[in-house]
Amino acid sequence: MLAELERRGHRVIDTDYGDWIDSSGLEPVWREKRIAELLDAHSERLLFVGGCVANQGRFYTRFDAVVLLRAPKEVILERVATRNSNEFGKSDDERDQIIRDLEETEPLLRAGATNEIDTRAPLNEVADELERIGSTESSAPHNA
């Protein structure tokens, strides 16, 4: 999804790659200073930030929208099994972790989201919806 948004000319940050995450503790968290600096410096076109970590909620007030991209478990497991861009999810243990995360974490993500998109729709439609949400929300007064 982020690659499609980037192809369309948007700035995207996939926090799963690069030095955005600190994995030294019990669970991965965003490097808060680095994320804050990113958001402080951003002012022009839409910025899309992707990732899921334990401390992301600390930044929700800094985002114009928080979008949960969702799909049924079977769809997610099929996508993970057939993708070539990332090896995570190929082992039985990792697939079990994905199922646990869907059951335990997705409800928490849903509670914090301002919008939700079913990603079974074609990629271009999901990207169109993200652009619509970004354009609508970024023109509204920002809640801090």
Residues 6+ apart with CB under 8 A from 112: 57, 60, 66
One of 3.30.70, 3.40.50, 2.40.128, 1.10.1060 is the CATH number of 2-139, namely: 3.40.50
**Looking at residue 128, what is its pLDDT?**
98
**Looking at residue 138, what is its pLDDT?**
64
* Residue 68 and residue 113 in contact, taking contact as beta carbons nearer than 8 Å: yes
Map residue 117 onto helix, strand or coil.
Answer: strand
Q: Give CA–CA dist 34/143, Å, rounded.
A: 21
Residues 6+ apart with CB under 8 A from 65: 114, 115, 133, 134, 137
* For range 30-34, the mean pLDDT: 97
Q: How far is residue 108 from each of residues 12, 15, 53, 73, 127, measured CA to CA in Å?
A: 24, 19, 12, 16, 23
Could you read off the pLDDT of 45-91 as tens digits, one per residue?
A: 799 999 999 999 999 999 999 999 999 999 999 999 999 888 889 99
**Looking at residue 85, what is its pLDDT?**
83
* Residue 4 and residue 124 in contact, taking contact as beta carbons nearer than 8 Å: yes
Could you read off the pLDDT of 90-141 as tens digits, one per residue?
A: 999 999 999 999 999 999 999 999 999 999 999 999 999 999 999 987 654 4
* For range 6-20, the mean pLDDT: 95
* For range 6-34, the mean pLDDT: 95
Cite the DSSP H helix spans in the chain: 2-7, 32-41, 73-82, 92-104, 106-112, 123-139
